Amino acid sequence: MHNQKIALVTGATRGIGLETVRQLAAQGVHTLLAGRDRSRAVEAALALQAQALPVEAIALDVTDAAGIAAAAREVEQRHGRLDILVNNAGIFRDDFDKAPSAQALDAWRETFDTNLFGVIATTQAFLPLLRKSAAGRIVNLSSELASLTLQNDPGSAFYDFKMPAYNASKTAVNAWTVQLAHELRDTPIKVNAVDPGSVKTDMNEHGELDIATGARGSVRMALLDDTGPTGSFTHQGEVLPW
C-alpha cells in the first residue's frame, strides 16, 4: 500500500468527478471518492469496488469547514499522506434568462462559496498531507469560460456565453492556481488548472463530449511526471489562454 498513490476527488458521486475516480483507480491509484452525502459516496464507491477497483468513500462538503477538517484527519489516520488532490466539486447558479448585471447576488455568493472558497479551503486542509508525498499533484477543475482572453474575443466560440458568476468563479480558480503554483515552485508539488471541455453531464445537458473524455484531462494532470508543467491551464493537453 505504501507505494500505491493515494488520491482524493471532490464532488465525485456523479459526472466528471465519478469518472475521474474510476480512471485513476483503473491506473492503480487508491482513490478516495468524496461527496457531500456520505451514503451516496458509499453507494458510488461500492459500485466501483465491485469492479475490483481500489476506491474508498469519504464524506466531504467543500463549503463545510468542520467537515473538511474531519476529512483531512480521516485521510491522515488511514493513509498518513495524500499524493493527488482533484478539486472537482463545482456548481452553476446563473440564470440563463438574465443579463450579467441582473444575476442575483446570492447566486454569486453561492457560486463562489463552492467553486472558489471551497477549492481554497479544501486545498489548505490537505496541503500538509500533500507535502508528505514524494510528488504531490493538485488539479483544479476550471473551464474555457474562465479565459478572459476568449471571453473578450468576438471570434471565440465562447464569446456569447456570459454566465458571470460561474465564469468569474473559474477565472478566480485560475488565479488561485497561479498563486499556489508559485508558492510551491521549489517543492515536488505541481498545481494545474484543467478545462474538461463541454461535457454532457447533469450540470451541462448541452455538452458535446462524453464524460470519459472530459475526465481524461484531470487524470493526465493528476498523474504528471516530474517533467510536467505547474501553474498551467490546459484542455486535453493543449495550453489555453488566461
* Residues 6 or more apart in contact with residue 20 via CB below 8 angstroms: 9, 12, 86, 88, 215, 218, 219, 222
Strand order across the 238-239 sheet: 55-59, 30-35, 6-9, 84-87, 137-141, 190-194, 233-235, 238-239
Do 161 and 145 meet the contact criterion of CB atoms below 8 Å apart?
yes
pLDDT averaged per 10 residues, the chain (length 242): 88 95 98 97 98 98 98 98 98 96 98 98 98 98 96 94 97 98 98 86 63 92 97 95 96
pTM of the model: 0.95
Do 85 and 138 meet the contact criterion of CB atoms below 8 Å apart?
yes
Delineate the domains of the chain, giving CATH numbers in brackets.
6-239 (3.40.50.720)
The pLDDT assigned to 3 comes to 81
The pLDDT assigned to 94 comes to 96
The CA–CA distances, whole Å, from 127 to 55, 70, 77, 94, 146 equal 21, 14, 15, 31, 25
Do 31 and 85 meet the contact criterion of CB atoms below 8 Å apart?
no
The pLDDT assigned to 2 comes to 62
The pLDDT assigned to 204 comes to 53
Is 166 an active-site residue? yes
CA-CA distance, 10 to 35, in Å (whole number)? 6
CA-CA distance, 79 to 87, in Å (whole number)? 19
The pLDDT assigned to 205 comes to 61
CA-CA distance, 17 to 41, in Å (whole number)? 11
Q: Which of 112, 126, 166, 233 is catalytic?
A: 166
